[in-house]
Amino acid sequence: MTAGDAGAAEPDDADVSDPDDAGVAAAAGDPSDFVSQVIAVVESIPAGRVMTYGSVAAALGSRASRGVGQVMAYAGSELPWWRVIRASGHAPRDHEQRALEMYRVEGTPLRWSRAGAFRVDLERASWSP
C-alpha cells in the first residue's frame, strides 16, 4: 500500500498471510477487513438462496468479484460455499457435484438442460442482504 491510498490501513495493521491476497488488498484496502466482510455476507445467505461472486462484492460496495473468489478459495470450506455461484448460475468450478447435493438438500431452484447439465435458477434463487 502506498501513503497516497485513501483510507488505507498502516502497513503494520495489515495482516496479509498469503501473497495471493494482494488482489484482495488492492480491491478493498485492508485485506483482513475485506475478508471478514465477505465471510459475513456469505454466512448471511439463507438456505436455498444464492449470490454470485459479483453480487457479494456489490453488497460490500466493491467490484472485486475476483477478490471474493480468492476469499472463498482460502476460507470457503468453513462457509456455505455452494451458495456463492458464477454469474451464469453455474456452481463453483470443480465442485459441481458436491454443490448439487447441497442444492437438493436445501431446495435451491435449479434449471436443467436437455443434456442433463444444471445451473441455479438465478431469477428465483438470488438473494440480497
Is pLDDT of 115 > 90? yes
**Tens digit of pLDDT for each residue in 94-109?**
999 999 999 999 999 9
Sign of the Cα pseudo-torsion (25, 31, 35, 37, in order): negative
Q: What is the pLDDT of residues 20-46, one digit of tens each?
A: 444 444 444 577 799 999 999 999 999
Q: In terms of Cα–Cα distance, which of 45, 37, 31, 42 is closest to 77?
A: 42
Quick check: 67 and 34 in contact, CB under 8 A?
Answer: yes
What's the whole-model pTM score?
Answer: 0.75
Whether residue 79 lies inside any domain: the answer is yes
pLDDT at 20: 43
| 106 belongs to a structural domain | yes
Q: Is residue 5 part of a domain?
A: no
53 domain-assigned: yes
What are the distances in angstroms from CA 50 to CA 20, 57, 66?
26, 13, 17
Examine residue 7 and state whether it is found in any structural domain, yes or no.
no
Three cell numbers, residue 4 = 497516497
User: What pLDDT does 11 receive?
Assistant: 35
Tell me the CATH number at 70: 1.10.10.10
Answer yes or no: is 13 within a domain.
no
Helix (H) or strand (E) holding 96: helix 96-106
In degrees, to the nearest 5, what angle opens at C-alpha 121 toward C-alphas 88 and 98?
A: 80
Q: What is the mean pLDDT of the chain?
A: 83
| The predicted structure's pLDDT at residue 21 | 43
Give a yes or no: residue 10 inside a domain. no
pLDDT value, residue 29 = 59
Q: Answer whether residue 129 shows pLDDT above 60.
A: yes
Q: Which residue range forms the structural domain that includes residue 83?
A: 19-125
Q: Give the total number of structural domains in the chain.
A: 1
* Gyration radius of the chain over CA positions: 16
